[in-house]
Amino acid sequence: MELTHEFKEIATGIQVRRLPSDFAHVRIHYTANPLKRGDWAAITSARYGGMDSPLWQREQEISYNAYTGQRLWPMLSNDHMAEYDVFDGHWAIFRSIDQGIRHPTVCVWIAINKYGDRHVFREFYSVGRSIAENCRLIRGIDRDEPIVGSIIDPSTKKRNEINLTPLIDVFAENQIFAEPADNSFVGYDRVNQMLMSTLARKKLAGNDIPILDKFKLNNSLLKELSTVPALTFDTRFSNRVFLECSNLRWQESKGDQTQTRPKEKPVDVNDDGADCVRYACQTKIFYKEPKKTKFNMADYWKLKQENLRLNEMKLKSKARAYA
């Protein structure tokens, strides 16, 4: 068979074309495997968020435009709304913060139970305010709540241009002591898995979940999906975060995607709250029972800074000794 620059199917799931360099370009689809036909795709795609999800389209359907313009989390729906008493002693409260200059500064309150489930129950958005003022407002919202810890966009470790002080230290000076979050790209897939876990648990509980019906999942597969921690939202007090997560999309790609690498990054607009949720899902934070102690976070931060200062002095002294 003579090959041209256009793909020709030579067998089920196998396409071939001839490149200008005279090499053969072969595409092998999963349907080339007889065991991966029929209901296999519908069942397996549940782990990816469905056959319509960008992740499945890219990984299994050889779609170069899978991500372009698509929603990151198409399964996010009203089934992820929930209301819990997060101060009943079964949840630990964390803040997730995304510092903004041109974008808004966002703080999202996340409750975590002993199973690792995340529940977004409160949000704070601020534009045109200083870090000091934002910290004061955030602490005012906290009141005397037992906050276990805070995580923040790791870019705040960079020094500001005015006095060369890292922004994360400026937050600490204003009584919000945060640790750098894990902002890895894989966090987007982690959120996807946690959203699917929420749906699987509801399905196992006997609820009607239309998005799962088309997967034809048995209880064994549903239980496998449900082992991942779940993610829910209290939209009474975190509606903007919920909408941002629902509407977050991949950037549009232009041109021939077989010749240029497609853009695989979300649109950098109205994504600040979604970033906070991603930080909270990807970062290794766990349930902890709040303990009342005279040694507060302010004392801990001062001790940490003093230890850093002493270590720097030791390094400088050692460097002089060998100069």
Q: What is the pLDDT of residue 253?
A: 62
Q: Which DSSP symbol is given to 6?
A: S
Are 230 and 222 contacting, i.e. CB atoms less than 8 angstroms apart? no
Residue 112: Cβ-neighbour burial (10 angstroms; 0-12, 13-18, 19+) = buried
Helices within 143-296 (DSSP H only): 167-173, 187-204, 210-213, 219-226, 239-247, 272-282
- Residue 56 CB partners (closer than 8 Å, separation 6+): 45, 48, 49, 50
Closest residue by Cα to residue 182 from 113, 73, 278, 301: 278
Q: What is the pLDDT of residue 180?
A: 95
Q: What is the pLDDT of residue 54?
A: 64
Phi, psi of 302, rounded to the nearest 5 degrees = -65, -40
Phi, psi of 131, rounded to the nearest 5 degrees = -60, -40
User: From CA 151, how far away is CA 172, in angstroms rounded?
Assistant: 12
What is the residue type of 130? S
User: From CA 93, how far away is CA 96, in angstroms rounded?
Assistant: 10
Residues of the chain where predicted confidence (pLDDT) is lower than 50: 259, 293
| Domain 70-292 in this protein, CATH class | alpha beta
User: From CA 50, how far away is CA 61, in angstroms rounded?
Assistant: 12
**β partners of residue 185:** none
- Residue 322 CB partners (closer than 8 Å, separation 6+): none
Q: State both tokens at 34.
A: 């007889």
Q: For the whole model, what pTM was predicted?
A: 0.72
Closest residue by Cα to residue 187 from 280, 249, 60, 266: 280
Helices within the chain (DSSP H only): 40-44, 54-59, 131-142, 167-173, 187-204, 210-213, 219-226, 239-247, 272-282, 297-321
Neighbours of 53 (CB within 10 A): 23
Q: Where in the chain is the domain with CATH 3.30.420.280?
A: 70-292
